[in-house]
Amino acid sequence: METNLEGLDQLEDLLVSEFRTWQALTQLAREEREALAQQNLKKLKELVERKVLLLEQASSLEQARKAQFREAGVQVQREADWNLVVQAGSEAASALNGSGVFDRLARLFSGLLALLDRLREITRMNRSLASSLLWSEGLVPAEPGPLQGAVPGGGGSQDAV
Amino acid sequence: MPSETGPRTVQDPPVKPLTGAFLSGYEVYDETVCKYVRSFNLAYYGMCSPALSPGDETGPGLARRNLLSREKAALNKALLLFNVTEEMIERVTGGIAGQKK
């Protein structure tokens, strides 16, 4: 039983880490939206580099969480859109009913799903902004202009040719 | 900041190539991105090959083209990551739902 309790604690820790990572990605997406709205591509580039790292982290945590989920011997039941119930899926885990850990896990899963839904919406908006910007004539000014500042490494030197 | 003495080459953007498990399965999208990146003479992603021919790396106006290319490449990379993000969101969401009996 101790092993399963430890397993559930580890699962909870992993879920918290996963939630925080997706929270960071959501905040980053908001910053992306701002950078796109301001056509600040230097900032966008920085954000994209951070995003790669965060996505890698989220992917690793997801894999670890899945493995731990199996190890802990629990199940998730979806009762409604965001209403999830975590239940014991094994005899050993059923002994932990009433410990409160299943409720906490259910809240974490629900929170994660809600967060992902929000990020999905922001990402869609950002995609529209980026697509518009990519194809807009404004990105390709006839003369060097404000976009000079967006050159990686400080810019300006490109005109030395 | 040291000044440049010659034209920048198109192969020196200080951006590490996107690698890792994320990008598996994105060949079609990558090809779309790379086609666009190549059209602006920029070997931006490690996945976009081949690099430019030597003749493309010099000549008047190259610096300006690089400037524009890098901006567009940043947008292309952002667009690629939007896809990756959405796919991961679906995977995590579906994974949680799929953990019920």
Distance of alpha carbon A99 from alpha carbon B56, whole angstroms? 67
Contact criterion met (CB < 8 Å) for B89 and A144 = no
Q: Does A59 touch chain B (CB under 8 A)?
A: yes
Distance from CA of B50 to the nearest CA of A (A): 23
Structure tokens at A9: 């604690």
The pTM is what? 0.62
How many beta carbons lie within 10 A of that of residue A25, not counting itself? 24
Tally of structural domains, chain A: 1
pLDDT of residue A5: 72
- Is residue B99 very low, low, confident or very high in pLDDT (cuts 50, 70, 90)? low
> A32 in the Ramachandran plot: left (φ > 0), alpha (ψ -120 to 50) or beta?
alpha
- Is residue B16 very low, low, confident or very high in pLDDT (cuts 50, 70, 90)? very low
Distance of alpha carbon B8 from alpha carbon B17, whole angstroms? 19
User: What count of CB pairs under 8 Å joins A to B?
Assistant: 136
Omega cis (within 30) before B17: no
**Is residue A37 domain-resident?**
yes
The percentage of chain A sitting over the pLDDT mark of 70, rounded to a whole number, equals 68
Which of A50, A85, A116, A120 would you mutate first to test chain B, the one with the most B CBs within 10 A? A116
Phi and psi of A156, rounded to 5°? 90, -45
pLDDT of residue A79: 67
Residue-averaged pLDDT of chain A: 76
User: ipTM score of the complex?
Assistant: 0.73
**Which residues form the domain of A107?**
2-135
- Is residue B89 very low, low, confident or very high in pLDDT (cuts 50, 70, 90)? very high
Omega cis (within 30) before A152: no
Across chain A, the runs of DSSP E, i.e. the strands, are 74-78, 84-88
CATH number for the domain including A34? 1.20.58.300
**Is residue A140 domain-resident?**
no
Nearest CA in chain A to B79: A127
**Contact indicator for A12, A101 with CB cutoff of 8 Å:** yes
Contact criterion met (CB < 8 Å) for B99 and A161 = no
Residue predicted with more confidence, B80 or A146: B80
